[in-house]
Structure 1
Amino acid sequence: MQRIKHILVLTALLFAGCKSVLDVQPKGVYSTGNYWRNQSDAIDGVTGIYNVLLEEDYTGFNEFVFDNCSDDQVRGGDHDYDAVIEDFTYDASTYSVRVGWRWKYETINRANNVLIYVPKIAGMDDAIKNRCLGEAHFFRAFAYWRLLLIYGEAPMVTEDDVIKSFYNKPKVTADQLRAQIESDLLAAADQLPETYDDANKGRVSKGTAWGLLCKLYMNWEKLDKAIEFGSKVVSNANYKLAPNYADNFSVATGNNSEMLLAVQTVDGNGYSDFITYHAPRNWNGWSFFYPTKGLVDEFETGDPRKNICIMQPGDQVNIGTGIATYEASTSWSGYHYKKFCAWKPSGGLDYSLKTPLMRSADIYLLVAEAKIRLNGPGAGDAEIRAVRQRASATLPVVTNGGMKELMHERRVELCGENERHQDLLRWDKVKLVDIAAIYNQPKRAYDGTVITRGGAARKFAKPKNYYFPMPQQEIDRSKGTLVQNPNFQ
């Protein structure tokens, strides 16, 4: 993945022909007509898809803003416009609602070009060609997945549309998006390898596609299919849980068997803003995401994940050049996420730390949830136990676990990884929780007081706040082709 640094040149492509909802400006001297010549071009073109993940307005930062809606974290930093995300008063012009749209369609655009042109390259190694096509299918699915979760409905652009220069398209339904995601992920799983050598670690694999299929089917309420594809991850040693929970949040061990998808960065090459946004401001960061007391209190006594995940008042933190004491005044809540921070011995943040986007532990717990919901308490014990025992062999063993135990485990295992709000939405839609009641409780700081900025109780409106409005600027550019979500008209 160190090839990313060379892709800064390749991104000059931005692959010609984009307009309207894609809103991408062609740059540089390359075009689709003179670029796709050989295997090296194909590999670099695919690596250019990964490169989009580095964008600040995509998974570099903005995607994680949406979990400020949850009860687990509160916004920090100086983006006052993110307050409306947190309190559900956003509209179609809100900055955080609109800026990520472009990068999802940029991902789709690059994937479409790979799917159009790579099959035409003569002399490619078949395994490399299949891998390239599988990666393109996966990332197109991933971009549509994020569009689905955030907007519910969105325009769908595929290879045929690119060939016909048909970009100004109306939105499709959530089920149509799900069907496209499913199709792409099945194709990806068929074409991708199970594992990679050290030189290619960090690329998506069959397990990555199976994992996202599991997540898709849970969103779709196809629980039996979620178990089928999630079990392909759980039963495959290539995707086993890392020996230690902390391995997932270490520079040295981030690309382990459990990390199904992560933003790949190497300090000095391929910069991502993710760590900067999470680290304390006085220790080289920008302090934008603060855990709440509710999340911190969810950890059981003796659960080592608490100290791995959370900085608390009085903690001694290695900031590379020495040991510093974390103070409550460092954040509005008195907490920071420790799991997303790393420092170099020479000083400064270590940008070799990966941004986790999907881990096997997530899939283990989704399989457990689907089994519990289909077959009752106890059906998911094996998967819950595997995750807990990996955290610590001294944690009480779950026996006859139900949704209460499953919800707890997901909350602590995946804290800060952009899953909590989506979990609560999914559970609310099938009446397992009342998200409005949860969000009507204030967010509290370490000392039990209501957090002064972003901590007030909020009103969640159903079904309006299940999704965000489509960006108004995209509707305007479509000249009437796109129609706003009726809840925001």
Structure 2
Amino acid sequence: MKKLKYIILTVGFIGILNSCSDDFINVENKEVLTEESFWQTEDHAMQALTSAYAAMQSASGSKWAFFEEIYTSLAYRADDVDNNTAETYGRTLASFSNTTEESGPYNVWQASYAGIGRANQILQQVPNMEVLSENMKKTLIAEAKFLRAYYYFWLVTGFENVPLVTSFSGDLNDLFPSQATPSAVWAQIETDLTEAEADLPTSHPSEWKGRATLGAAKSLLGKVYLFQEKWGEAETKFQEVTTLGYALLPNYADNFNGLGENGSESIFEIQFSADRSNGNDERQVLNYQVSPYAFGGWELFYPSQWLEEQMKTDLTSTGEISNRVYESIFFNDPNSEMYSRGSQEMKSYTVVADSLNHPRYFKKYAFNADLDNYNGTNIPVIRYADVLLMYAEALNENNKTSLAIDQVNIVRARGGAAPLGVMTKEELRTQIRHHERPVELAMEFGIRWFDLYRWQRGSTATESIKTTLENHNKPFAENFQDKHIVFPIPLQEININSNLTPNPGW
């Protein structure tokens, strides 16, 4: 919530009072928050909620932990992204040579449990806050349940075998939980989201944009059903989302340049503001990470060759490459151009080709704003185009292929691509999996790898991740083993919690 000015607190964020005492007097330390002194005002409740949202940017709130640890962990293993092997960030993950000590998965784990711990405190404390109205209590509790479900979604898809913690405790005996079954975690996610639906509003006042809404809960719940191949439930939930007033932005690029954030296509985003006041650092750095060295960027990662080849087949009705392709990647094409941070102007690929270090780059998030610094553009987590494509997938698996094609064509039309014609169920499934989703959603946070994951783990037209990576010429695909389907349980956690068991193969 980018307009919040509250303190972002750490994982526990409620200090335990160590009072000063001797034989004569006990004096309360007014500068230390305790469970008795906190949870007294509406501001306290909002500070707690802000802290629960803040974990999406990492446990510490560091932009570096998010972009160079969490983002790379969720993106680098997929077939749409190639990492710059000259850079160390996520390099072993990308080459499937990581160990249990890799810092990226640990940051995913740490951020998720930080968010869960903060959400659990809200769920325990807010019901007892007499200063809050009943309506406000319901909303805060619903948001906390949504957030807990969101964090557990990353844990169960990323690690599968994780502790299921639904209460906050300072008792040392409760700090070393065992792992739950994945099915138990999925069931808790469904419960949290179903209960959140009942009390989340369809929108928030403008000063609170970015907070979870009814549409966010329904969309995430539909995604949860999709991951479990509950096709009927997924179809129903996504259909409900289509009735809530969302619409695709007319300009595809506005999803990534700051002009469309929290707008008609936005369902849920990680909020950034570029605010640096009072010790804050609410900036994001993707504009540097995707830009070429020659443009003043860091080129941390690139579109894969397979992705570029797919994008070149995304054509208009008259046979030209679609607009969504030109707004997604910078590649060897006379109509391809990208903003150069160095010269502060758009540059054509053909003009600068000789100065480039790599044949292709992502253009998403590389735009001409905040010219000399990082920026405050939000990172979409779920946008309406994603929902329409998931809806199409559910419809197709429910043997409603014609209706599914209609949903895909809505997305294609906005991006300038020609409509799909008649297709079989199997043809459309392949089209959605290996063209529509990667072309529309390339490099977007936490999407492609977990699509590959669910198609491997599912029983419907199961696809081997290794085979897909090999077919799409992913570098180091030969190193992939079944153990790489999930992250290892972080060694740091196993070392302090003897109740944790390593994931198979790790």
Question: Is contact 2:392–2:404 with CA below 8 Å preserved after alignment?
Answer: yes
Q: Which residue of 1 aligns with 2:367?
A: 342
- Where 1:375 maps in the other structure, the secondary structure is coil
Q: Which residue of 1 aligns with 2:429?
A: 403
Q: Which moved more, 1:292-301 or 1:120-129?
A: 120-129
Q: Which residue of 1 aligns with 2:275?
A: 268
Q: Which residue of 2 aligns with 1:482?
A: 500
Identity of aligned residues (%): 26
Change (3 A) 1:49 1:280: farther
Q: Which moved more, 1:467-476 or 1:402-411?
A: 402-411
2:49 is aligned with 1:46: yes
Q: Which moved more, 1:148-157 or 1:59-68?
A: 59-68
Select the residue among 481, 486, 497 that pairs with 1:461. Answer: 481
The Cα of 1:86 is off from its aligned counterpart by 1.6
Q: Which residue of 1 aligns with 2:338?
A: 317
Question: Is contact 1:131–1:191 with CA below 8 Å preserved after alignment?
Answer: yes
Q: TM-score, normalised by structure 2?
A: 0.84
Matched to 1:289, the amino acid is F
Q: Which residue of 1 aligns with 2:453?
A: 425
* In structure 2, distance between residues paired with 1:331 and 1:291: 14
Matches within 5 A, 1:70-469: 70-76=78-84, 78-80=86-88, 82-159=90-167, 161=169, 166-237=174-245, 239-269=246-276, 270-299=282-311, 300-301=314-315, 302-313=321-332, 315-319=336-340, 321-326=344-349, 327-328=352-353, 333-344=358-369, 347-349=371-373, 351-375=375-399, 377-392=401-416, 395-400=418-423, 402-407=428-433, 408-417=435-444, 418-429=446-457, 430=459, 431-441=461-471, 443=473, 455-462=475-482, 464-469=483-488
Q: Deviations over 1:30-59 (max 9, x none)?
A: 233322111122122211222222334664
Matched to 2:362, the amino acid is Y
Question: Is contact 2:266–2:380 with CA below 8 Å preserved after alignment?
Answer: yes
Q: Deviations over 1:213-269 (max 9, x none)?
A: 1111111121111112111112221x2322332221121222212211111112234
Matched to 1:316, the amino acid is E
Q: TM-score, normalised by structure 1?
A: 0.87
Q: Deviations over 1:1-55 (max 9, x none)?
A: 33444324x44963347xxxxxxxxxx8223332211112212221122222233
Question: Is contact 2:284–2:374 with CA below 8 Å preserved after alignment?
Answer: no
Matched to 1:484, the amino acid is P
Unaligned 5+ runs, structure 2: 17-30, 277-281, 316-320
Question: Is contact 2:285–2:374 with CA below 8 Å preserved after alignment?
Answer: no
Q: Deviations over 1:378-422 (max 9, x none)?
A: 241221122112222x61344346212222211111111132222
* In structure 2, distance between residues paired with 1:260 and 1:59: 20
* In structure 2, distance between residues paired with 1:139 and 1:472: 26
Change (3 A) 1:442 1:217: closer
Q: Deviations over 1:331-352 (max 9, x none)?
A: 764222211223336x224512
Matched to 1:129, the amino acid is K
Matched to 2:78, the amino acid is S
* In structure 2, distance between residues paired with 1:57 and 1:267: 14
Structure number, greater radius of gyration? 2
The Cα of 1:170 is off from its aligned counterpart by 0.5
The Cα of 1:365 is off from its aligned counterpart by 1.0
Question: Is contact 1:277–1:286 with CA below 8 Å preserved after alignment?
Answer: yes
- Where 1:380 maps in the other structure, the secondary structure is helix
- Where 1:352 maps in the other structure, the secondary structure is coil
Question: Is contact 1:342–1:349 with CA below 8 Å preserved after alignment?
Answer: no
Q: How many residues align?
A: 462
- Where 1:405 maps in the other structure, the secondary structure is helix
Unaligned 5+ runs, structure 1: 18-27, 444-453
Matched to 1:404, the amino acid is T
Question: Is contact 1:249–1:340 with CA below 8 Å preserved after alignment?
Answer: yes
* In structure 2, distance between residues paired with 1:171 and 1:442: 35
- Where 2:505 maps in the other structure, the secondary structure is helix
Question: Is contact 1:292–1:333 with CA below 8 Å preserved after alignment?
Answer: no
